[in-house]
Amino acid sequence: ESAITQAIVEAERPFHCSPGDIEEVREALLECMWEDVGIVRDGTGLARAEGRLSELDSTLMSVGMASQQRAYNLTWHDWLNLSNLILVSRAIQSSAAHREESLGAHYRADFPDHRPAADSVYVTVRFDGSFRLDQQPVRFSRVRPGQSLLAC
């Protein structure tokens, strides 16, 4: 029950803050993710993004809405969506910083080498107030690296 109460308090936060412009926060989020957590990334940019994402989260938490209506309040929906976008962006940044290799299309300029495919891992992220990251080996249950589904 306390988790539900806490979720309601968090969701209603913008009703208790002075009105502001969440579009500035959204644009700053897009810029941060593109510049520092994009396809080509490095440890310096990822560390910068960690700080910037924390700032954006704090900024959003202080931005309210002009309308106090709860029914059909699209600004409230936008605020909730942006809050979730920041949370997911923080998870992506944490996971990217945890990986010390290049993987697929995501290239770590400071770790350009790829792990052998047979040693592939998933990075799992859990959030309970802070992010907890772990690595799990990929189980190749259908096709193993170096094998093909196509018969020659």
135 belongs to a structural domain = no
The mean pLDDT value of the chain amounts to 93
pLDDT computed for residue 4 by the predictor: 95
Q: Is 78 part of a structural domain of the chain? A: yes
Q: Is residue 8 part of a domain?
A: yes
- The DSSP string of 43-59 is HHHHHHHHHHHHHHHHH
Kindly report the CATH number assigned to the domain that includes residue 44: 1.20.58.100
- Ranges under pLDDT 50 in the chain: none
pLDDT for the residue numbered 86: 99
Q: How many domains does the chain have?
A: 1
pTM of the entire predicted model = 0.88
Q: Determine, yes or no, domain membership for 143.
A: no
The span from the CA of 106 to the CA of 49, in Å, is 16
The number of CA neighbours under 13 Å toward the Cβ of 122 is 8
Domain coverage including residue 67: 2-114
Residue 90 lies in a domain: yes
**pLDDT per residue over 98-118, tens digit each?**
988 887 788 899 998 888 888
Conformational region of residue 139, where left means phi above 0, alpha means psi within -120 to 50, and beta covers everything else: beta
Q: Does 140 fall in a domain? A: no
- Are 82 and 22 in contact by the 8 Å Cβ rule? The answer is yes
For residue 60, being part of any structural domain is answered with yes
pLDDT at position 143, please? 84
